[in-house]
Chain A
Amino acid sequence: MQKSELPDPFEKARLEKGIGEMKDQNDPVKMILRHKDVRKTAHNYKTFQSGAIPGRIVVPSEVNIRKTRQIPFELDPPIHGLYRAIVEPWFKRPLQVDYTEKLTDQISELVEETLKKDKVEVIGEFALVLQSRALTLLLNIPYEEAETWISWGTHVFRSEDTALDADKANILYDYIDKEIDKAIENPGADLYSMLLASEVEGKKLTREEVKGVMVLTFAGGRDTIINAVTNAIAYLSEHQESLERFRKEPEIIGKAVEEMIRYFSPLTQMGRVVTEDTHVCEHAVKADTRVSLCWASANRDDAVFENPNEIVLDRKINPHVGFGFSHHNCLGATHARQIMKVLLQTLADKIKSIEVFDYKENIEDLDEFKRKVGYDYINVKFNRLTN
């Protein structure tokens, strides 16, 4: 097996039963594994709700570590749509030319810094740095702020010892509280100020709602981007020819990004709470229990994808659900796609090859399944392209 491979642990269960089971803190989860069932369930918000008590749709559950409702994530239609409409145009800003230019400058500079080093730990010294700096663009706040987020380390919510660490979550909550205070006192052109000035049905967003959006923006866009970036670097270290191909056929980069999101599936799954006794894929599920939409499994479903366990850089038809599906599809996807496109382009322009020294895989423990989602650390060296 190649080092950069992400095996599909769900195949057997997906074919045989279509579901998997997780115990998760005495609030069990039936994991939905087939592409068709995942899409259908994601669409059916009435029977499979997001607006349960805060933290319950996350697997592992965050019910015991937070009270703040994440918005628009933990709301259901039609209310969901009202809040989503406020933030949607803001989250499309990455399509603007000057946003892409700034992102390109940031990533270019980081790759240059990295080229100077004999050894770089990709998670902490590259992916986290890239993600944090890019987030200043999304929030439209000064670049220097990234230093604070980088200093938090990779796991704001999750620490290595305990799956869910309330202390770490508090760092983020306290920080966001302070930033909201600042924006109230001194409104600017940043996301906090935009939210504070927004209204839903004629009423200003409450402070708690603003916080709910900001927590989600920080939390949803952190591990996901870090995993996507790190897995891309690991893949390219074993596929120097792909860098060559991006140089010759830059037009495939967009497709390559979609394919990497499918294959890496940086977010493994997301839950829903069942509102009435029903069935998923012929298995009975009871009201007030949980199911999960397993994006990572759906993305390897051979009923939909040919050669699902291979990265086909120019895969033409790729209806993956790596960014979710239907009402709650990823708001940060525009930003994430832009980061990945610029990253692949910049690496192709500057890098000949990437050497890997040593690494430790990050394996998610999903009871019945163990899924590699990325790395705990991976030490590499970038070698410059010279012509």
Chain B
Amino acid sequence: MAKITFITSDDETIVVEGTSGSVMELAVEHNVKGIDGDCGGVCSCATCHVHVKPEDMTKTGPASEIETDMLELDDNADEYSRLCCQIEISDAIDGVELTVAK
């Protein structure tokens, strides 16, 4: 079980819990604004871009090469950016805070 906090671009805070699947799927299920997950999680749409709170990066790990290639061209991306369809839900990410990218 992992508790995950999303902060949307309207500064709304949404706290949800999940046990399996990807963070993108969890966000879509709970209608987190700004996470559309258009491609269903295969890394082709970038509509699941989040900024991980810096101190939580150790829990989520850094972006994979496929993600950085995709995000490299996104003007809003930074070193804390992840495509959250590539973050698997598990106990390891309990408590992370994710800010939905513009």
Q: Are A315 and B38 in contact (CB under 8 A)?
A: no
Q: Are A255 and B44 in contact (CB under 8 A)?
A: no
Nearest opposing residue in chain B for A259, CB measure: B42
Nearest opposing residue in chain B for A334, CB measure: B38
State in angstroms the CA–CA spacing of A329 and B70 once bound together. 13
Tell me whether A39 is interfacial, beta carbon within 8 Å: yes
Q: Are B73 and A319 in contact (CB under 8 A)?
A: no
Which bracket fits the contact residues of B? 10 to 19
Q: Are A319 and B70 in contact (CB under 8 A)?
A: yes
Chain A residue numbers with a CB within 8 Å of B1 are: none
Q: Are B43 and A319 in contact (CB under 8 A)?
A: yes
Partner of A333, one of B38, B41, B42, B66: B38
Nearest opposing residue in chain A for B28, CB measure: A95
Partner of B40, one of A255, A321, A325, A326: A255
Closest beta carbon of chain A to B74's beta carbon, Å: 9
Tell me whether B56 is interfacial, beta carbon within 8 Å: no
State in angstroms the CA–CA spacing of A334 and B47 once bound together. 12
Chain B residue numbers with a CB within 8 Å of A258 are: 39-40, 42, 44
Chain A residue numbers with a CB within 8 Å of B42 are: 255, 258, 315-319
Chain A residue numbers with a CB within 8 Å of B73 are: 39-40, 43, 325-326
Chain B residue numbers with a CB within 8 Å of A39 are: 69, 73
Q: Chain A 304-344 against B: per-residue CB contact (8 Å), 1 yes, 0 no?
A: 00000000000111111111011001000110010000000
State in angstroms the CA–CA spacing of A43 and B74 once bound together. 9
Tell me whether A220 is interfacial, beta carbon within 8 Å: no
Q: Are A317 and B66 in contact (CB under 8 A)?
A: yes
Chain A residue numbers with a CB within 8 Å of B70 are: 319
Q: Chain A 245-260 against B: per-residue CB contact (8 Å), 1 yes, 0 no?
A: 0000000001101100
Chain A residue numbers with a CB within 8 Å of B45 are: 323, 329, 333
Chain A residue numbers with a CB within 8 Å of B94 are: none
Chain A residue numbers with a CB within 8 Å of B69 are: 36, 39, 319
- 5 example contacts (A-B, Cβ-Cβ < 8 A) are as follows A43-B73, A95-B36, A255-B40, A319-B43, A319-B66
12 more CB-based (< 8 A) A-B contacts, given A319-B44, A320-B44, A334-B38: A40-B73, A95-B36, A255-B40, A255-B42, A258-B44, A316-B42, A317-B42, A318-B39, A318-B42, A323-B45, A329-B45, A337-B38
